[in-house]
Amino acid sequence: MGQYIYPRSIVGTLDRRKDFAIETFTTVSLPQPSVDQLFTVANRKAFLIDVPMKKVLGMIDLGYMGNIVLSSDRKFLYAVETFYSRGTRGIRTDVITVYDTKTLSVLHEIEIPPKRFLCVIKKNTQALSGDNRFLLVCNISPASSVSVVDLHQQKLVMEIPTPGYVLLYPYETRRFAMIGQDGGLLLLSLNKEGQVEEKKRIFPGFSLADPIFEHGIYLKSTNQYYFVSYEGMLLSLSLSGLSATWEQKWNIASGSGWRPCGWQLLSCDPEERYFYILMHKAAKGKHKDSGTEVWEIGRADGVVKRKIALDRPVDSIRIVAKEETLLCGLCRKAYLDIYDLRNGTKTAAIEELGEEALLLIGYDG
């Protein structure tokens, strides 16, 4: 073998290696999880944001069409993910990856049936039971079903066939609703072992001529979900055991030419006095477009209290409040705009939050 001859400059550099400080890696802890933090969920990534500080605290990588759920005790983050043995093809594996929210480190994973609902990222394709014991995962294979995972035992309990019903709306301790293609509901109740205890079908409560956006919000204090329709009708769904009652509340946009739009388009302040709805001025059929205004609606009377003009369009909104109340607007083009809700002025922007950034997931009070 030949002899290598190094240039004098490189030899000198190698001789000085003993002067280099050896770097060590440590794991740091994040600030205590709080209601003024949120995660933005994009294609294969989720970013943790401290909203008042206008700062990215951390990031986790996600599998194909990955999504997240936060435990109500704020100790764990559950990532629902899909992986293929050849990257984009091959043997499919679906898992729930459990993260420690203090460090965003992986604790363990639970394998689930490889049939979870793979679509554009939606908030209601997975959900925690009210007691945080079971994680529910919506499946399409193409038959619809729900995987019930015991988070304490770290194993799959069962798969519930739910023909014609998709998406998950949890309520009370271990109950959840699913929505059908005709607008009807399927209500299910689980026992302490995660087995189906009761189920009941509910007739449709709205017209398919004016469908609802599936990203509703849940008010635990009244055990109600609220939804908004394509034409601006605000509806409530009151739940109690295995009974459910729809009520059309108010049409917030009648005759104005404005319509609700976007993705995660509905939010509420912590005191539950006002709804906030993402709006735009557009014709029918444009409901997936980005919004240009956020309307503040009185929960008690349905009156439009004010309209907040946005600096640039967004697709999803969420109200974040602790010391101050802030409106967060996320765009699929990877930016998050933050507004002071007292006066509607934009106070900050965070860029480069991933491709197809669509969801804002946070802690409830």
Q: What is the DSSP string of 153-197?
A: TTEEEEEEE-TTEEEEEEETTTEEEEEETTS-EEEEEE-TTS-EE
Give the integer Cα–Cα distance in Å for 199 and 186. Answer: 7
**Residue 360's closest CA among 11, 6, 39?**
39
Q: Are residues 265 and 192 in the same domain?
A: no
Q: Are residues 213 and 350 in the same domain?
A: yes
Q: Are residues 171 and 271 in the same domain?
A: no
8 Å CB contact between 66 and 77: no
Choose one of 204, 235, 270: the last residue of a domain: 204
Any domain includes 118: yes
pLDDT in tens, 327-360: 999 999 999 999 999 999 999 999 999 999 999 9
Any domain includes 198: yes
Q: Are residues 302 and 256 in the same domain?
A: yes
186 strand-pairing partners? 178, 201
Cis peptide bond prior to 142, omega within 30° of 0? yes
Q: Are residues 215 and 75 in the same domain?
A: no
Q: Are residues 260 and 195 in the same domain?
A: no
Any domain includes 260: yes
**Residue 90's closest CA among 114, 121, 117?**
114
Sign of the CA dihedral running 161, 165, 168, 172: negative
Phi-psi region of 272 (alpha: psi -120 to 50; beta: other; left: phi over 0): left
Give the integer Cα–Cα distance in Å for 131 and 90. Answer: 36
Any domain includes 58: no
Choose one of 172, 187, 204: the last residue of a domain: 204
135 strand-pairing partners? 128, 149
Range of the structural domain that residue 241 is part of? 206-364
CB under 8 Å to 252, separation ≥6 — which residues?
228, 232, 233, 234, 277, 295, 297, 302, 304
Give the integer Cα–Cα distance in Å for 111 and 132. Answer: 18
Choose one of 145, 170, 204: the last residue of a domain: 204
Q: Are residues 356 and 219 in the same domain?
A: yes
Q: Are residues 333 and 285 in the same domain?
A: yes
Total structural domains within the chain: 2
**Main-chain dihedrals φ then ψ at residue 13, nearest 5 degrees:** -65, -45
User: Residue 154 belongs to a domain with what CATH number?
Assistant: 2.130.10.10
pLDDT tens-digit profile, the chain (365 residues): 455 555 555 555 555 556 677 788 887 899 999 999 999 999 999 999 999 999 999 999 999 999 999 999 999 999 999 999 999 999 999 999 999 999 999 999 999 999 999 988 999 999 999 999 999 999 999 999 999 999 999 999 999 999 999 999 999 999 999 999 999 999 999 999 999 999 999 999 998 999 999 999 999 999 999 999 999 999 999 999 999 999 988 999 988 999 999 999 999 999 999 999 999 999 999 999 999 999 999 999 999 999 999 999 999 999 999 889 999 999 999 999 999 999 999 999 999 999 999 999 999 86
